[in-house]
Chain A
């Protein structure tokens, strides 16, 4: 054996470098480690059974890897070709996946259902024309929300939400949250203790809380976002006709189970002095009256979700957010200026799913947490004014707290 006579010093160095690299490669440290649990939104809730883990994985594949094409039923008009397109890493979406709803201005219902409502499918397969927003239709743009912790929100009893409601502001604090009473589709299974009022149920998902549960939300998203007909939502969004299912019930149920079993976001640096001080300021200026810090779940068929205390920072109720956020469009019995309090957990990780920046509020118009706070009107206006009156340091601490969620 001999070294190549043509081997030069640079090549010796190169081979040495390669050898070092390979030595490192044999070390476990050279493989990228899993990010910390508090650094990502995806992952299952703790305490699931093996059977639930298996269903979680099936739903994960369908949600994050399943892509529809023209051959598998996509469209012909649609918003996106997969669930994961809009909810990267199970986080908030981006303006490019923001959808448009239109046609309803009050609780009497949507006047544009025969003209493509309630959702605009602004993309189309080749050879098809996408929907156009009908002239004169009130509309609003909805940025995809984060998916995490949804199972916990699902397991909060109706009674707990009603206890938080104060529709006539009896306590005189200027906050008058109320549920969105919606007409639920026939395929939903009412959760234990569900409250019904004049045949309507309490909605808790969506910007306007217009979806009763995750099956309602998921089946509607398959239908309206991707143009995928299921046995749950059997009318094709393009033709308006009944159509053969393009996704199996099992896949839909797996996705629902996946969404239910996604963990709640884990707060980062909860004991950092700035975070603690910021939280106190958050509560002191009244943010917590709508962004209720803590909820307790009730019974759930998924034991890991039952009777748990979680900190989502929402009351799942509608609040009037003032004229600045009133797009004139609404759903269910919500007024156009009313929006369901969005959960704040996971807020600090939003840039990791929004392309490195923030797109906050219902349509992504706010480009920072401070911007989002300053666009609060209506019931949120007093808190916004108190935020403005905080010192710069106090504002920074409050934002730091929100970023820790």
Chain B
């Protein structure tokens, strides 16, 4: 990790020279020759290539102001540095490339290698990827860069149900088949997986993101059983993209040192995602829905649900486009997000009633993009969260004003 940071700092020093001679600093043109999918998001970013180095650099930053209140109680005015992410990519050979993404979240509370993989292309339909890969479950996990979204908060279902950003050490295959107006793609990886924190955590609910707290997951599988993640996606030039993904494996340590501790307990996640643009109005529709099923011991706490589901739908409508405040390709958007997560779809054994533990939120937004790489966004959020027993919901409202930009 330290070596990687040193490399990043060293590489970062070169653009400083480039401020004197701009020729030394050039933008890597994005590949727009073919249809791009969510799976291409890691490379489909603005990079800067210093000098003649075979290394390209990039990153993004996002920060915001927030005022939120739940049932009349507020933490007051907050300024938040959500994340700073640095990318380095390198073309090692003609069809061998490397990319890494390092993220500092919530200041420096979390420092993660989100992606660090070597890709070897044998043909467009057959690529091998190995290293720290982002498990292709849903679309948001792969396509999560802050500047691409009109909302300060990431979707609840992507971060609190699915564990975005979820990446693990492993390897797999991916490929695409192109047609004139469509592309079909697949991804399949075996990686390290979850651990038992998904049913033993301070959230007191089945919570897949809890496994991200395992500091050993990049060097040791918790139980020795690989996690499989696979996705198939289809994109049509006019209609948009639809993806279907699956992730499954064993989350518990069923044996240790040759001794049996428990039976194998599995989890399965299915997700569908959709991205589309209405040609006439240029309304962008992005949605994702996921289902989670976890094998919970019968005698365990019912607060840990066996079945979960949730998702979000974003509508983004450009309402003004042109020169605004001197930015000649600026866009002003209005946007709306609907999101819902049910962390426990089980029933009470004692009464037969439905268990609560669900959250519904509506977020409205106005975003201004002075350039395609930068977004300044104003959000207003209303949220209703019911507890495990289904009692009257806690009501939250928040106003957020922030920015996110590639650099």
Q: Is the CB of A353 within 8 A of B389?
A: yes
The answer to whether A4 touches B366 (Cβ under 8 A) is no
**Chain A residues with CB below 8 A from B319, complex form:** 3-4, 7, 11-12, 14-15
* Listed stretches A122-130, A145-153, A183-191; interface member: A122-130
| Cα distance A3–B319 in the bound complex, in angstroms | 7
Are the C-beta atoms of A18 and B366 separated by less than 8 Å? yes
Q: Tell me the minimal C-beta distance from A271 to chain B in angstroms.
A: 25
Cβ B356 vs Cβ A124 within 8 A: no
State whether the Cβ of A94 lies closer than 8 Å to any Cβ in chain B. Answer: yes
A26 to chain B, nearest CB (A): 8
Specify which chain A residues have a CB less than 8 angstroms from the CB of B73 in the assembled complex: 34
Contact of A31 among B378, B387, B388, B397 (CB under 8 A): B397
> How distant is A138 from chain B, measured CB to nearest CB, in Å?
21
CB pair B280 A8 closer than 8 Å:
yes
B199 touches A352 (CB 8 A): no
Q: For residue A65, which residue of chain B has the nearest CB?
A: B202
Determine which of A35, A80, A88, A353 lies in contact with B301 in the assembled complex, contact meaning CB atoms within 8 Å. Answer: A80
Q: Report the minimal beta-carbon distance from B64 to chain A, rounded to whole angstroms.
A: 15
Is A49 positioned at the interface, with any CB of B under 8 Å from its CB?
no
Expressed in whole angstroms, the Cα–Cα distance for A21 and B397 within the complex equals 13
A288: interface (CB < 8 Å):
no
Interface: A176 (CB within 8 A): no
A15 to B331, CA, bound (A): 13
8 A Cβ contacts from B201-217 to A:
201-204
Contact with A along B253-291 (1 / 0, CB 8 A): 000000001100100000000000000111100000000
Complex Cα gap A18–B362 (Å): 12
Q: How far is the CB of B315 from chain A (nearest CB, A)?
A: 8
Question: Which residues between 321 and 372 of chain B lie within 8 Å of chain A, taking CB atoms?
Answer: 321-324, 334-336, 348-351, 353, 356, 364-366
Does chain B have a CB within 8 A of A314? no
- In the complex, chain B residues whose CB is within 8 Å of the CB of A70: 196, 200
Taking a contact as CB atoms under 8 Å apart, the answer to whether B280 and A69 are in contact is no
Closest to A70 in B: B200
Q: How many residues of B contact A (CB 8 A)?
A: 60
State which of B72, B197, B300 has its C-beta within 8 Å of the C-beta of A33.
B72
Chain B residues numbered 111-149 whose CB sits less than 8 Å from any CB in chain A: none
**Complex Cα spacing A274 to B100, Å:** 70
Q: Does the CB pair A353–B391 fall under 8 Å?
A: yes
B1 at the interface (CB under 8 A from A): no
| CB pair B201 A30 closer than 8 Å | no
Q: B380 is contacted by which of A3, A30, A67 (Cβ under 8 Å)?
A: A30
B108 at the interface (CB under 8 A from A): no
Smallest CB separation, A115 vs chain B (Å): 18
Q: Report yes or no: B204 in contact with A71, Cβ–Cβ below 8 A.
A: no
Q: Across the interface, name the chain B residue whose C-beta is closest to A95.
A: B350
Residues of chain A within 8 A of B203, CB atoms compared: 67
Q: List 29 A-B contacts (CB under 8 A).
A: A1-B324, A4-B318, A4-B320, A6-B318, A11-B317, A11-B334, A15-B317, A18-B334, A22-B364, A22-B378, A24-B380, A25-B397, A31-B397, A67-B204, A70-B196, A78-B301, A82-B204, A85-B204, A88-B388, A94-B348, A94-B351, A123-B299, A124-B297, A124-B299, A125-B200, A125-B300, A126-B262, A352-B392, A355-B389
- Extra 8 A-B pairs, beta carbons < 8 Å, given A7-B320, A124-B300, A126-B199: A4-B318, A14-B319, A18-B366, A31-B69, A33-B72, A98-B350, A352-B391, A356-B391
